[in-house]
Amino acid sequence: MKETIKLVAVLTIICSVSAAMLAAVYNITMGPITEALEIKTTTAAAEVMPEGATAVVKVNVEGENFFVSRSDCGCVEAVAVEGTSDNGYGGKLKLMISLSTDKKLINYQIITSKETAGLGTGIIEPEFKTPLLGKPFNANWKVSKDGGDFDAVTSATISSRAALECIRDAISKYEGAITKLCNNK
C-alpha cells in the first residue's frame, strides 16, 4: 500500500512539473505565433487584392477583420476577408478571399491548412482555382458531385468542398458587412 501511494505521489509530481513546463512554453510561444499569423494574414490580404489596389486598410466590423481597398474618392473597390471551413480533409481550412463590389470572386489564397500536400493543396492550383475567379456571388459554390458549378480537384473532393465552403463563408461575411464598410471611411 505504501508503495502504491509513493508511486502515485511521484507520478503526480512528474505530471505537475510537465504540465507547468508545457504551460510556460505555450505562454512564451503564443505571442510570436499570433504575431506571425497576423503578418501572414495581412500579407495574404494584400496579395489577393486586384492589381493596382491602393489604400488597403484593415477594418473591424462586428468582430470580423476586413481588408478594404478604396479608390481615390474613398469608394470601396475590393474587400478581402477570411473564409473558414472546419470540414477540410486535414481539419480546419482558412482562406483569404478577395471580393469585388460588383459581387464577384477576385482571388484567394491559403492562410492555414492541414490538407494533404500534392492533393488537397491542389485547391490553389490553376486547374481548380481559375474557373472560380470572376464568378458571381450567386454561383452555386459547390462541387459538381454535390450539384454545384465546379469540378473538384481529382482525389481531393473533401478539400475542394472545404475551399468552396470558405468562399461561401467569405461571401456571407461580405454581404453582412458591405454597407458598414462603405460607410466607414
Q: Domain containing 137: what range?
A: 45-183
Q: Along the 185 residues of the chain, how does pLDDT read in single tens digits?
A: 788 999 999 999 999 999 999 999 988 998 888 888 888 888 889 899 998 887 788 888 888 999 998 877 778 889 999 999 999 888 899 999 999 999 999 999 999 988 888 778 889 999 999 999 999 999 999 999 999 999 898 888 999 999 999 999 999 999 988 877 777 65
E strands in 20-169: 57-61, 64-70, 76-88, 91-100, 105-112
Q: Looking at the domain assignment, is residue 18 inside a domain?
A: no
Q: Looking at the domain assignment, is residue 1 inside a domain?
A: no
pTM: 0.83
Q: Looking at the domain assignment, is residue 116 inside a domain?
A: yes
Q: Looking at the domain assignment, is residue 37 inside a domain?
A: no
Q: Looking at the domain assignment, is residue 19 inside a domain?
A: no
Residues near 17 by beta carbon (within 8 Å), at least 6 away in sequence: none
Q: How many structural domains comprise the chain?
A: 1
User: Alpha helices, DSSP H only, in 69-156?
Assistant: 126-129
Q: Looking at the domain assignment, is residue 88 inside a domain?
A: yes
Q: What percentage of the chain has pLDDT greater than the value 90?
A: 55
